[in-house]
Structures are given as structure tokens and as C-alpha cells.
Structure 1
């Protein structure tokens, strides 16, 4: 498998709320709130609230959050 294809395949994986929380540095409950708010892509797989989350949407959310933080730092430095 070509390295780029492997990378793409990893991005398209569905992960648990706990795994998403680890990537984002927050709690699984916060991840569930983000899914419910539509901030990241995910769905419930049981009535008890177990979620599956799109890994690529978690990465995109994390990157956007980091970019906003960098923008705030730049504005403060002025």
C-alpha cells in the first residue's frame, strides 16, 4: 500500500467517543455534546448513547480550534 493511501484510510476510520476525546484533549461527554451540536460528525449506535465518530471530522475540528488559538495569540501580540 502506498503511504498516501494508508494515511487517507486512517483518516476515514470511525472511532469511539473515548478515542475522539483523547485526540481533542477533552472528556467523552464533551465529545458527545460536540456531536449533538453538529460540530463534529458522529452518530449514536445504541439508545444508551454509545457514539461512533468520524476521525476525519475530529481532526478537522482540532485543527480549526488550534488555528483559532494561534489567531488569538497573534492579535494579543500586536
Structure 2
């Protein structure tokens, strides 16, 4: 139970960090595009937003499992 709680806590921290980085990138790309200096990629169609939303959903579902897979030690096998 503690391992699951640690996995969810870690996943929440990583997911919120990724969301904040994504929002900061979107804010900067909008600001740079308005200034006319150069263009950064921004989602401009339904397909782009759809990919972002489904990517976020997949991250939310798989991050706890990935944390457990990375942190749990492999079982010891008896050498016979």
C-alpha cells in the first residue's frame, strides 16, 4: 500500500511539472508569435489538441506503473 501511495505521489509531481512546463511553453510561444521575431510551434488544429489531450491522459495512467517498474528491485533467484 505504501509503494502505491509513493507511486501516485511521484506521478502527481511529475505530471504537474510536465503540465506547468507545457503551459509555460504555450505562453512563451504566443508571446514570441505576437512580437513577430520567430515562430514556435503551437497547436493550431483539432488534431494537435487531440494529441496533446490523449498524451496527457496516457501519461496520467502510465506514470504510477512506470515508477513501480523503475523502483522495485528484481526478485532474487536461487542459484542451484
TM-score (norm 1): 0.33
Q: Which structure is richer in relative contact order (CA contacts within 8 A, separation 6 or more)?
A: 2
Question: Counting helix residues as a fraction of each chain, which structure ranks higher?
Answer: 2
Rg (Cα) greater in structure: 2
TM-score (norm 2): 0.32
Question: Counting strand residues as a fraction of each chain, which structure ranks higher?
Answer: 1
